[in-house]
Amino acid sequence: MSEETLSNLLKEDRRFEPPAALAEHANVTAEAYDHAAKDREGFWAEQAQRLTWDTPFEQVLDWSNPPFAKWFVGGRINAAYNCVDRHVEEGRGDKVAIHFVGEPLEPETSGTRSITYAELKDLVSQAANALTDLGVGTGDRVAIYMPMIPEAVVAMLACARIGAPHTVVFGGFSSDALASRLEDCQAKVVVTADGGYRRGAPSALKPAVDEARTKTDVVEKVLVVRRTGQDLGADGWDDAVDVWWHDAVDAASTEHTPEAFDAEHPLYVMYTSGTTGKPKGILHTTGGYLTGAAYTHWAVFDLKADTDVYWCTADIGWVTGHSYIVYGPLANGVTQVLYEGTPDSPERGRWWKIIEEYGVTIFYTAPTAIRSFMKQGREIPDARDLSSLRVLGSVGEPINPEAYVWYREVIGGGNAPVVDTWWQTETGAIMISPLPGVTSGKPGSAMNPIPGVSADVVDENGQSVPDGSGGYLVVTDPWPSMLRTIWGDDERFKETYWSRFAKEGFYFAGDGAKKDEDGDLWVLGRVDDVMNVSGHRLSTTEIESALVSHPKVAEAAVVGAKDADTGQAVCAFVILRDDAGDGGDDIVAELRKHVRKEIGPIATPRQVMVVPELPKTRSGKIMRRLLRDVAENREVGDVTTLADSSVMDLISSGMSTGKDD
Ligand code: WT7
């Protein structure tokens, strides 16, 4: 028993067939899997034809020096041209690219407006000219530290247009985090804003850039969008460095000829902190990345660019915003919504109002958001007409079966398939996902690698596990949007991702997963979070999903804490649904019994703590490491990546009042 790699415990029998009408006109049909498998490189060469190449590539893949891949060798391409100009040249200049929705409702401040592809082309060209005037040349790095406003997208595309790799730093990060990223990639210019609107108020950004500049001297110029008009303070402007966007960009010419770059020219660096250590600058290059983003956006969401209205709620500071707000959707020429603010401002139903108003057809969000809406209750979305929705996506964490079913029923009206998309900053694009017109969906399962991608679940020795077993998730063949290295650290790149298994060419993602009896994949969480209870390796996800399937529970986080008898014991932290009140006197016993019934005695939590909030990263992932500190009565560790640092105090104080049974 102690030999098992990861237990496979939770059973799920619900199935959802693709809607007949969607399946009939689906972009991708079941044949695609075989077609791609027969000639994988040929398949990717076909997908690369979604793009307009300046010079065609001569070789699809050069994998002669693994793990350093080169895709579309010899090809030359401009990413911004592909996302903007070609749509205008092909007669779609009047089509809306971005419906921008500002958080404030008041017309004077909201900034809400629609930008056509022709307008976007002018803006990107102007910004490209302005960056060039500021001294940015091909290969120079530009940092972008912005709210969710159209200028953020424009800045990214302007960088791509001139071949200057961007590094977008999430606007919620501190000046320290910004400074370390500026320093690591030696960013010459920062594009920022005075601030953005969040939770009904202007939230400053520029002061953090000023602060970061006291910690590193790499930055030569700061280009500042005036978004909120807030006071920058007495020392808040440095004429030698700071330049207003409305001066530099508005005055620049709308004429700009995009230069074609090598397919392997760096497009961007995205920092990801993972669970430990110094943030890793994940490098993505141009041709392969754009191919992966465009193809997956088209295939996984069944995108009909002429009629769909697409909305991804991610922040452009994360890879999801890069691949599924900027590069994939714009390369595909769709109309999309870009929303500045939070889901609950000025009212809890703000997102549903936006979907109704713009007739959003494809909606892509994260499980953490879905669970917070489950907590609030269905009355809020039920008050809006969401019938335009036809495909729903989920990304960022495993989606618990109960949250999946709620999403499908309440948001999708029972008609819209849910695609649970597994991928990472490192993979650049979706890797494992149902296809909405093909797959009979199972709630909680990311199902299968998409056509063109090969992945498997393996044991300690890199051997494929049989159906019905768990292990480590690996990608077994290179893919076009794969990371090329960690910026400035090839050794760490090899060590982190490619050395876990002796077998050359296995990319280890850091996640545990299982193959069910049908061979479908279930992602079970980070392997660092796996618990070992009496020699059974238990996944956090399965126990959390069992807890969330209880009608009183909205969210759950499970960790292993040292235990004298069993090695580790399961400790659960749960958030109750609003309509469950305090859960009643027997809530702890009730939940323990529920897990025992759903999974089995081995998974029964030793402790269940009812908490008001869970510690999450700024992208919404639960930080189980901090909960382990609480469960093992340790002082809580490094909280710098925590979205709300007061959360740990709330949880720790709840602990001392003793919710154990
Ligand atoms: C990690 C990557 C993918 C872009 C946003 C997050 C977890 C992501 C799923 C999913 C189960 C998922 C994994 C992965 N994850 N999507 N559908 N099911 N787990 O990017 O910050 O690089 O995080 O997020 O653990 O390794 P990221």
Residues 383 and 471 in one domain: no
| Residue 399 CA, closest ligand 1 atom number | 18
pLDDT tens digits for range 222-265:
999 999 999 998 899 999 999 999 999 999 999 999 999 999 99
Residues 358 and 219 in one domain: yes
Q: Find out whether the beta carbon of 446 lies less than 6 Å from any atom of ligand 1.
A: yes
Q: Is residue 58 assigned to a domain?
A: yes
Q: Is residue 603 assigned to a domain?
A: yes
- Which residues contact residue 276 at a Cβ distance below 8 angstroms, ignoring those fewer than 6 apart? none
Is the backbone peptide bond immediately before 346 cis, with ω within 30 degrees of 0? yes
Q: Find out whether the beta carbon of 280 lies less than 6 Å from any atom of ligand 1.
A: no
Would you state the pLDDT for residue 655? Answer: 53
Which protein residue's CA is at the shortest distance from atom 20 of ligand 1?
A: 424
Task: Tell me the β-bridge partners of 339.
Answer: 101
* Sign of the CA dihedral with 235 first, then 239, 241, and 243 last: positive
pLDDT tens digits for range 601-659:
999 999 999 999 999 988 889 999 999 999 998 877 777 777 777 888 878 765 533 33
- Rounded to the nearest whole angstrom, what is the distance from the C-alpha of residue 426 to the centroid of ligand 1? 10
| Residue 433 CA, closest ligand 1 atom number | 17
What is the average pLDDT value for the chain, to the nearest integer? 94
Domain count within the chain: 3
- Rounded to the nearest whole angstrom, what is the distance from the C-alpha of residue 398 to the centroid of ligand 1? 8
Testing ligand 1's pocket by substitution, the residue of 422, 486, 542 carrying the most ligand atoms inside 8 A of its CB is: 422
Would you state the pLDDT for residue 350? Answer: 98
Would you state the pLDDT for residue 652? Answer: 75
CATH assignment of the domain containing 569: 3.30.300.30
Phi, psi torsion values for 326, nearest 5 degrees: -90, -70
Q: Give the whole-number percent of the chain exceeding pLDDT 70.
A: 97
Q: What's the mean pLDDT in 398-424?
A: 97
Residues 7 and 51 in one domain: no
Choice among 321-325, 326-330, 468-472, 501-505 with the minimum mean pLDDT: 501-505
Would you state the pLDDT for residue 1? Answer: 33
408: left (phi over 0), alpha (psi -120 to 50) or beta: alpha
Alpha-carbon distance of 303 to 298, in angstroms, equals 5
pLDDT tens digits for range 89-121:
999 999 999 999 999 999 999 999 999 999 999
Global pTM value: 0.94
Would you state the pLDDT for residue 276? Answer: 53
Apex 54 CA angle, 51 and 60, nearest 5: 65
Give the DSSP H or E segment for 596.
helix 587-598
Residues 226 and 343 in one domain: yes
Supply 508's token pair. 């280890």
Give the DSSP H or E segment for 419.
strand 418-420
Q: Find out whether the beta carbon of 424 lies less than 6 Å from any atom of ligand 1.
A: yes
Q: Is residue 427 assigned to a domain?
A: no
Supply 228's token pair. 């909120």
Residue-number span of the structural domain to which 503 is assigned: 3-12+454-526
Inter-residue contact 238 to 219 (CB < 8 Å): no
Q: Is residue 426 assigned to a domain?
A: no
Query: Would you place residue 277 in the very low, low, confident or very high pLDDT band (cuts 50, 70, 90)?
Result: low
530 pLDDT higher than 50? yes
Residues 522 and 564 in one domain: no
User: 300 to each of 430, 431, 660, how far by Cα in Å?
Assistant: 8, 10, 44
Q: Is residue 616 assigned to a domain?
A: yes
pLDDT tens digits for range 196-218:
999 999 999 999 999 999 999 99
- Rounded to the nearest whole angstrom, what is the distance from the C-alpha of residue 396 to the centroid of ligand 1? 4
Q: Is residue 494 assigned to a domain?
A: yes
Neighbours of 219 (CB within 10 A): 19
Would you state the pLDDT for residue 654? Answer: 59
Q: Find out whether the beta carbon of 319 lies less than 6 Å from any atom of ligand 1.
A: yes
- Rounded to the nearest whole angstrom, what is the distance from the C-alpha of residue 447 to the centroid of ligand 1? 15
Q: Give the whole-number percent of the chain exceeding pLDDT 90.
A: 88
CATH assignment of the domain containing 488: 2.30.38.10
DSSP 463: P
Would you state the pLDDT for residue 271? Answer: 96
Residues 515 and 537 in one domain: no
Strands, DSSP E only, in 109-262?
113-116, 141-145, 166-168, 187-193, 195-198, 201-204, 221-225, 242-244, 261-262
Residues 253 and 281 in one domain: yes
Residues 202 and 320 in one domain: yes
